[in-house]
Amino acid sequence: MTDTTSTDSMSEVYLQISSNILESFPKFRPPVDMYYFDENVAQVKKYHEAAARLGKDKQEQVSAFAEDGVLFLLRDDYRVYAKHLSKKLGLVLTEDDLSAFEVAEIFFIALCDRMEDFIAQPTEPAFKALIKDISILVEYMWIDPCRAGHFTETLHTEYSLPAHSVNTMFVGLALFTMVLKGKLDRAALVSLALGLIMHDMGMANVPPFILNKPTKFLRSDRDSVENHIEVAGKKLKRLGVTDTILKQCVIMHHERLDGSGYPMRLSGKDLSMPGRLCAVADAFSALIAERPQRGPRDFKQAALVLIKDPKRYDPTLTKLLAVLVTDGVASVVCEVESD
């Protein structure tokens, strides 16, 4: 396939493959079709078919193309590329060609994978892998806090525990950035991100037949679900986690301001900021997800449900959430930051 493009339309159709990215591809079988810009005829030409063997001569040629900034992949192949990058997440910090939305998607894919591993086996290696990728996410936010706004553009509405966990973290981090007007504390951010993403780690022990029940929960079902906080507490202990912010997210996310939550029935000022934040982000993420008992709620409706419940959910946070889902995330967060 040969295609003639102007420089402007090129970036709509193609993504540049940098030398760093190229080095991360399997040497002999790159995962995407590769194209190069032939300056002599001002055309983009296909150079290599995905997964076909790339001989030594061609490897040298694509390296030269990448160094010259003329190696590309189709933006339509973005999903394959995103999956690849999600395994080598640090690369997103150096790739200027990716949009904030695309990076948010890559983080979503990567962190869902890490959470899937961690939920299946909440052991130290899986925890360390999660911390490593969360640290990259925080570094990415640190460079420009407004980027947190884009996280909420990639929320997934089909329910799975990893997707719910990442949704909760993305919403919570965007809210936190708004609360602090972009003035973030890096260490606290890592703790908070971990707490948000791990908040439901105890749910792995709830039998799927209960979670997928199309009918109303019985008291015994509710007990089993509510037990996920205690289960999580034990798992955190086994992992030797002492971080207060992380633990508060996990232990307090079902507590409510009026004392109607669980497991400790905390109320008012006994509910810490991370606990309140995780409660709002978690409830919102639960509402926007498709469940066996009901369909997903529209983002604005979901925010409205929480804003109408100020006795249980922190009204400062639910108001910010409403702004976040109404006015367009990136601009809102940036605007708040520069106030």
Minimum separation from the CB atom of position 51 to Fe ion (A)? 38
Residue of 102, 113, 200, 314 interacting with Fe ion (CB under 5 A): 200
Minimum separation from the CB atom of position 295 to Fe ion (A)? 18
Between 225 and 334, CB nearer to Fe ion: 225
Between 62 and 163, CB nearer to Fe ion: 163
Minimum separation from the CB atom of position 103 to Fe ion (A)? 24
Minimum separation from the CB atom of position 281 to Fe ion (A)? 9
- Write the DSSP symbol of residue 294: B
By CB under 5 A, the count of residues binding Fe ion is: 2
The rounded distance, in Å, linking the Cα atoms of 146 and 338 is 10
Minimum separation from the CB atom of position 164 to Fe ion (A)? 6
Between 91 and 203, CB nearer to Fe ion: 203
Between 33 and 200, CB nearer to Fe ion: 200
Minimum separation from the CB atom of position 245 to Fe ion (A)? 17
DSSP string covering 62-94: HHHHHHHT-EEEEGGGHHHHHHHHHHTGGGGGT
337 binds Fe ion (CB under 5 A): no
The rounded distance, in Å, linking the Cα atoms of 189 and 57 is 46
| E-only strand ranges, the chain | 2-4, 14-16, 34-38, 43-48, 71-74
Between 180 and 231, CB nearer to Fe ion: 231
Q: Which x/- pattern, by CB under 5 A, does the window 279-318 give for Fe ion?
A: ---x------------------------------------
| E-only strand ranges, 109-249 | none
Q: Which x/- pattern, by CB under 5 A, does the window 208-247 give for Fe ion?
A: ----------------------------------------
Closest-CA residue to 113 (of 94, 87, 90) = 87
Number of Cβ within 10 Å of residue 75's Cβ equals 14
The rounded distance, in Å, linking the Cα atoms of 19 and 26 is 13
CA 59 vs CA 22, 26, 69, 113, 326: distances in Å = 10, 11, 15, 30, 48
Binding site for Fe ion (CB under 5 A): 200, 282
